[in-house]
């Protein structure tokens, strides 16, 4: 990694499109996510420590854990970043940086190209696969980790739960509708390895997806999706999530159009990096909690 972990955490934004979009989902998981930024502030917020000496010890231990390549934290961060890149958000960072507090969606319609449903389905599945693999790396789980991940997601909270909520809302419900789980399941069942290898984001991620070849990797993708399909379906129904409900809440923070839902999804994909942002926060929490426990 080119930057130390404390610098990566220090550079997390306190405002901007990503933070605005995530704040728009507070109604879905109220009080679960706080935009904790800054290495020292993260330590103090998570541990409740006020003693500067103890804060420094925890920070030093967290840095040591991250730098130990055998622990898997660096790989997890790489996955969060690569999944984010595969979605196309980083490729449009220059455009995202031009947005100010008043953001007009309609003026950028001519720059957006909504993804076909099958591409959207692959994007969503690649994010789920990234979540499975990052979870195993952070928690030191051997093997593919699908069973462990499927059992653990019900206990997700904080930035991890927000990341999954954003995935469901921004990559599932808004572009594909509240029944996206059934749609994606049907599409995934029909995918061929060529659908993966021809996907523009697959090259970013293929090296970390388990499987000796594209056939095996497709099998892993199907299993990963299947491990949380029921949880995602239940999440949508229990929170009564619809496209109109989500767009209505987004309009409190971002100017978007209810009549252009496929473009709204493209707009969010183009201007936010919620996956990497919350991934770094998940990584930071794990490091800090483990460092505190080991001191």
Write the secondary structure of the chain as one string of H (helix), E (strand) and C (coil): CCCCHHHHHHCCCCCCHHHHHHHCCCCCCCCCCCCCCCHHHHHHHHHCCCCHHHHHHHHHHHHHHHHCHHHCHHHHHHHHHHHHHHCCCHHHHHHHCCCCCCCECHHHHHHCCCCCHHHHHHHHHHHHHHHHHHHHHHHCCCCCCHHHHHHHHHHCCHHHHHHHHHHHHHHHHHHHCCCHHHHHHHHHHHCCHHHHHCCCCHHHHHHHCCCCCHHHHHHHHHHHHHHHHHHHHHHHHHCCCCHHHHHHHHCCCCECCCCCHHHHHHHHHHHCCHHHHHHHHHHHHHHHHHHHHHC
Give percent of the chain above pLDDT 90: 65
pLDDT recorded at residue 263: 73
Q: Encode pLDDT of 182-217 as tens digits.
A: 999 999 999 999 888 887 778 778 888 888 898 999
Average pLDDT over residues 221-234: 96
- pLDDT higher than threshold 80 for residue 95: no
pLDDT recorded at residue 87: 60
pLDDT recorded at residue 257: 57
pLDDT, mean over the chain: 87
Q: How does residue 98 score in pLDDT terms, banded at 50, 70 and 90?
A: very low
Q: Encode pLDDT of 43-79 as tens digits.
A: 999 999 999 999 999 999 999 999 999 999 999 999 9
173 or 208: whose pLDDT is higher?
173
Q: How does residue 90 score in pLDDT terms, banded at 50, 70 and 90?
A: very low
pLDDT recorded at residue 97: 41
Q: How does residue 129 score in pLDDT terms, banded at 50, 70 and 90?
A: very high
Q: Encode pLDDT of 145-172 as tens digits.
A: 999 999 999 999 999 999 999 999 999 9
pLDDT recorded at residue 204: 77
Q: What is the pTM for the complete model shown?
A: 0.89
pLDDT recorded at residue 103: 47
Q: Encode pLDDT of 270-289 as tens digits.
A: 788 999 999 999 999 999 99
- pLDDT higher than threshold 70 for residue 105: no
- pLDDT higher than threshold 90 for residue 258: no
Q: How does residue 235 score in pLDDT terms, banded at 50, 70 and 90?
A: very high
């Amino acid at each position: 990694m080119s930057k130390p972990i404390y610098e990566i955490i220090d550079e997390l934004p306190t405002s901007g499109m990503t933070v605005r979009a995530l704040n728009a989902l507070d109604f879905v998981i109220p009080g679960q996510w706080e935009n904790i930024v800054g290495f020292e502030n993260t330590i103090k917020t998570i541990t409740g420590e006020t003693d500067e000496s103890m804060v420094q010890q925890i920070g030093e231990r967290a840095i040591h854990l991250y730098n130990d390549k055998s622990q898997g934290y660096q790989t997890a961060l790489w996955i969060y970043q690569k999944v984010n890149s595969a979605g196309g958000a980083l490729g449009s960072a220059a455009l995202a940086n031009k947005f100010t507090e008043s953001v007009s969606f309609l003026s950028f319609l001519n720059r957006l190209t909504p993804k076909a449903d099958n591409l959207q389905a692959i994007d969503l599945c690649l994010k789920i696969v990234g979540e499975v693999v990052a979870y195993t790396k952070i928690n030191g789980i051997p093997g593919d980790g699908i069973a462990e991940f499927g059992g653990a997601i019900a206990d997700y909270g904080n930035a991890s739960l927000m990341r999954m909520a954003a995935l469901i809302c921004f990559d599932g419900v808004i572009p594909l509708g509240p029944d996206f789980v059934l749609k994606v399941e049907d599409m995934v069942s029909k995918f061929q390895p060529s659908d993966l290898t021809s996907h523009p984001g697959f090259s970013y991620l293929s090296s970390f997806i388990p499987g000796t070849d594209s056939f095996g990797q497709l099998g892993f993708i199907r299993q990963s999706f299947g491990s949380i399909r029921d949880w995602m379906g239940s999440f949508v129904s229990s929170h009564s999530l619809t496209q109109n409900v989500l767009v209505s809440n987004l309009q409190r923070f971002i100017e978007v159009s209810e009549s252009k839902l496929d473009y709204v999804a493209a707009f969010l994909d183009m201007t936010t990096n919620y996956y990497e942002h919350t991934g770094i926060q998940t990584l930071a929490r794990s490091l800090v909690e483990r460092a505190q426990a080991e001191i």
